[in-house]
Chain A
Amino acid sequence: HVQLQESGPIVVQPSETLSLTCTVSGGSMSSYYWNWIRQPPGQGLEWIGYVFYSGTTNYNPSLESRVTMSVDTSKNQFFLKLDSVAAADTAVYYCARQLNSASKVFDIWGQGTKVTVSS
């Protein structure tokens, strides 16, 4: 069965770039949309954006100026970069698979990685 695993630095300095990788195992990336979602401490969920297996992206307008997502299907990985981070970007970051092209819901999630923005 498909599993997702996030990886990357757990502490990022203010104004630097947050970079995360999500590794997909147990299945193909083809034909799926791959998403990033975050959750600040004690708060709700915020959709950051997705990257289609072909490389097409769609970002939340609230973060669009700072976000870049990409995919490497040969390595079964997709990536998140968030520029110019601040304390408000401290959160648990999840990668998640979209169920299918019609149902834009998230059926498989990584365990999440907590990223703290701090000097």
Chain B
Amino acid sequence: ALRMAQSPSSLSASTGDRVTITCRASQDISSYLAWYQQKPGKAPNLLVYAASTVQSGVPSRFSGSGSATDFTLTINCLQSEDFATYYCQQYYTFPYSFGQGTKLEIK
């Protein structure tokens, strides 16, 4: 099965910072990559799909980039509500698979 590896697994930052989370696929997945945000006790929320298309209603400080095997999620000017866990997901091939998550914490 296709494996997704995120880095770092955890990250400390301050409000107003710019952060980048990386996701690497074990094979070329073109641009079939999505990003989700999950807060404790809540379902994940779709942020970005097709590697760089921001879902409707998601703040413009979130952006995605990359193709093939290497992808990034960037959050500009961190807000307090952005501290959460972030997951990438590939949908290039079955079974769909997720990265292990990156926990973004307040410094």
Q: A82 to B59: give the CA distance in the assembly, Å.
A: 38
B-side interface residues toward A, CB under 8 Å? 1, 32, 34, 36, 42-46, 49-50, 55, 87, 89, 91, 94-101
List, in ascending order, chain B residues with CB within 8 A of A46's CB.
Answer: 98
Known: A44-B100, A47-B98, A103-B50. Is A110-B43 also a contact (CB below 8 A)? yes
The 6 closest A-B pairs by CB, nearest first: A109-B43, A104-B91, A60-B95, A105-B34, A47-B96, A45-B98
Do residues B43 and A105 form an inter-chain contact, with CB atoms below 8 A? no
**Min distance, Cβ A5 to any Cβ of chain B, angstroms:** 11
A-side interface residues toward B, CB under 8 Å? 44-47, 58, 60-62, 94, 96, 99, 103-107, 109-112
- Kindly identify which residue among B1, B91, B101 contacts A44, using a CB–CB cutoff of 8 Å: B101
Mostly helix, strand, loop or mixed at chain B's interface?
A: loop
**Min distance, Cβ A23 to any Cβ of chain B, angstroms:** 15
Known: A44-B101, A47-B96, A47-B97. Is A103-B87 also a contact (CB below 8 A)? no
Smallest CB gap from A98: residue in B:
B91
**Min distance, Cβ A38 to any Cβ of chain B, angstroms:** 11
List, in ascending order, chain B residues with CB within 8 A of A104's CB.
Answer: 32, 91, 96
A-B contact count (CB 8 A): 51
List, in ascending order, chain B residues with CB within 8 A of A47's CB.
Answer: 95-98
Smallest CB gap from A45: residue in B:
B98
**Min distance, Cβ A31 to any Cβ of chain B, angstroms:** 18
Q: A107 to B45: give the CA distance in the assembly, Å.
A: 7
Smallest CB gap from B56: residue in A:
A107
Q: A61 to B96: give the CA distance in the assembly, Å.
A: 11
Smallest CB gap from A49: residue in B:
B95
Do residues A99 and B44 form an inter-chain contact, with CB atoms below 8 A? no
Do residues B87 and A105 form an inter-chain contact, with CB atoms below 8 A? no
Q: A112 to B39: give the CA distance in the assembly, Å.
A: 13
- Kindly identify which residue among A62, A94, A99, A103 contacts B43, using a CB–CB cutoff of 8 Å: A94
29 contacts between A and B (CB under 8 A): A44-B87, A44-B100, A44-B101, A45-B87, A45-B98, A47-B95, A47-B98, A60-B94, A60-B95, A61-B1, A62-B95, A94-B43, A94-B44, A99-B49, A103-B49, A104-B32, A104-B91, A105-B34, A105-B46, A105-B49, A106-B36, A106-B46, A106-B89, A107-B46, A107-B55, A109-B43, A109-B45, A111-B43, A112-B43
